[in-house]
Structure 1
Amino acid sequence: MRVLNKPKKFKSLRVILFKNITLIFISLFLLLSIYISKTLYDNGIESIYTTLEERNKADKYYIESYFTKIHNAVKILSKIDVIKNAIYLSDNQKQFALKLFKYTEDSDPDINYVYAGYIDGSLLINNYTPPKGYNPMIRPWYIAAIKSFPNVSNGIPYQEIKTKEWLISISKTLVDNNGKIVGVIAIDSDFSKITSKINKYIKNYKSTNSFIIKEDTGEIIITPNNHFLRKKYYNYINNINFVYDHKKISFTLNGDPKLGYYSKIPILGWIIVTSVSKKEVITPIYNRLIILNITFLIMIILFGWFLSKSFMKKIINPLIILNDKLLQITQNKKIDIKLNTFEYPNNEIGIIAKELEKLTTTELYKKNKELEKINQKLQKLSITDCLTKLYNRGKIEKDLTNEYNKAIRYNDTFSIILFDIDNFKIINDTYGHQMGDKILIEIANLTKETIRNTDIAARWGGEEFLILCPKTNINSAFNLAERLRKKIESHDFSIDKRITISGGIAEFKKGLTIDEMLKQADDNLYKAKKEGKNRVIF
């Protein structure tokens, strides 16, 4: 490897390269760190949402099955005569109703009490003596049923008047045989059993909990925190609504940010929300990100150092030789092994950049421009009729297909005008093909002068021409064709014979194909010829 004779004020490429590599890897570290951190954070949050969704669905199915059977039991019991008409029966007759209550309680361990209260103040219940002055009509379960009439109430939590235990009641009005509301039947469940079942925290996240809201009132009816019981959720929870049947959400509860998932239980009119504290979730994510970024930074530093050493050895010195070779090649000189006679600029990269730029701007740039011009000419030739300079048949067939598809898509219309020169064979035979070509060119120019900017004219073949008229009905196309016909008829073609055209028009109608339109225009053109020429038929 030869040694460079560095001029004064020479800027070492090794120093510049080291600085640039350091800057690149710092930038790379920052970008990748941000990307990986965001990806891991998003994946971590998404994973939590997935876990919350699974837990929420499990709680929903539990609650749904738990209360659906109670809901159905209340509906069935409310229809039994001995229960709905108990107010009119003797104590002995009421015993059958109490047996039904007992049977229902014994058959389902999730049921605490089955009872009925009536408008006369009586209470029908097993093994329970109400306190003095007890009036069932003012109890929450009774009021809820009256409000829900004729439907089953969708659940209400309340405290038992004697034991003060929290229960959740499903109730329904009792209507006697005369259609009069005479009371309410209710089934109570143990509130604590339900809350403990749906509030087992997710592994590693002790802040996990579920609560249930009545959709119609916004009242919290099941919650592990009795402070919120029977309170309106929107008084404590910000940034949440329940528009969809189920959705992942984020909200704030008393200043504590939460991640959650909710789903609706339509049969009960309830919304079950499962949530976890966002702070508890993101702390382990942040810890993992810190460890990962430190590890990644160490790897970046080591890799950067190795790459910098490799660049010094394998790239810088070869670049110097390459520069000298490029310099001699661009000057059309034989590559000289002895390069010491050359003067070098202040920076090796500067030399290479200038010479490559020179090579690009002088040779490659010129070649590219020449190729670009040739391609433009070839493109134009591929779609242009070489004699008339109108579009050729291939081009207008593509335009016709595009216009046809647009007309179908947007329920629009368009028309085509197919015309040819009357007696053109006689003109060719009489005046020669050179004059025939001149007439074709002049008619093409007259056509371009007459059509609108939106119309497309092309030589269809021989002495035939086709005009495509977008968004044009047949009457407007006829007017255009007539203007063109009269213009050609009155034009001086420098021969002692009048030149005229005949044309046929077709308009797009739903169900027509392009071929059918072209045949229709061709048939009309043939008809124009048959009726004496120099006319347009549609």
Structure 2
Amino acid sequence: MNGKLFMKKIKKLLFYYNSLSILKKFLLAPIFGLLLVIPFYFFIFFIMLEMKQSVNIANSALIPLNEASQNNILLLEKITNDINSAVSAKEIEWISASDKNADKIRENLNKYINSNYKKEITQSITAFENYYKRAKDVSIKIIQNSYHYQNIENDTKILVQNYNKVDKLFNDLKFLTKENIEKNINSLYNEANIILLYGSFIFFIWFFISSIIIFLVYKDLKYKIQRIIDDSNEIAYGDVNFEKRLKIVSYDELGQIVRSINIFINKLHKSHEKLTKAKEKLDKLYIIDRLTNVYNRVKIDEIIEIELKRKRRYDHTFSVILIDIDYFKLVNDTHGHLIGDLILKEFSQILKDNIRDTDFLGRWGGEEFIIICTQTDQKGTFALAENLRREIEKFDFTTVGKITASFGIYECRDEDNENSVIENADKALYQAKRDGRNKVVCYNQ
């Protein structure tokens, strides 16, 4: 009975909670925040543990550097002793015995070159290299000159100065790391005291600010919901930007709405991409000759129309080359249509490889091809056609061997239309065939 009464009270509280507005729901947070006073101090305790862990991590990098600095001081003394021993024994070969300790110093310094002490370590490396090089050079000179040469006093003085500088830099780095280790430890206790001192004040400030923040969050949510509605309306009316996605990050009901809309946009985007690709494929099939993969007659007619309009408006000249493969019917009759198709592919490839980027190549029909030469007069077009004729003439076609082609050229005039352009180019082509084929003929009215 008591269990049923308890469940009844729970259901009543849930019903009351669901009947509240969003703002009132949010204002419940500061009230329940009063219950967080005790957990707040536990939170401070865990923060202190994290701070201590952070200090330990920092010291884990400082302590090895401090130890390396102490080790470098000892290694520096060993190097000095090794060089002094070589000088005392007058054995130049013994000097190289110090290289092992010098390499250890370099290794210790370079290991921490990318730490927060890069400047100090770089100075130490430079000073050490200067000292070590001079120490070896001076020692060799002393041995070779039996302890006497003109600048021995000056060299020795500079060497001692270099040694003292290196020793000071090594000791400074050791004391600097040691000092920072102590600072890190002391900072832990100082920050803990500050947290404990101001902890109570933070709670009351939090309670006041939380009410303001919750109100602002409510306004922000209202704005985001309105944005979702606006974007949804854009989708509904077909004015959607397929690159756009809702960027609201949330894990409540609002987040579910956002994810659903984004999924919907993604599906629309994919469908749109499929339709676009299908349209591009259809457009390509509409304007491209399937055998030779050059423009077909539909596209060429469109290009000629455009070029005529440009000529009338901007006075941009253009020319047309009409090309016909000589005796192509004989190829089909002798070798079959499959070989004939292969010859057409090879022939079109020669044309594509030798025209300019600004030219348009198309298959006019059967074994006839056409080239639209933009902003090119008859002279320039003739040079292009003659080059194409030579390339075709020297090419060794599959099975057939050598074949030739005839060319008819026409430079467009102001009074021309689509039909007259082709008709005049065709007249020139006919003249080229009548003159014996394998020729380039320009239309001459």
TM-score (norm. length: structure 1): 0.36
TM-score by length of 2: 0.44
**By percentage of residues, which structure has more strand?**
1
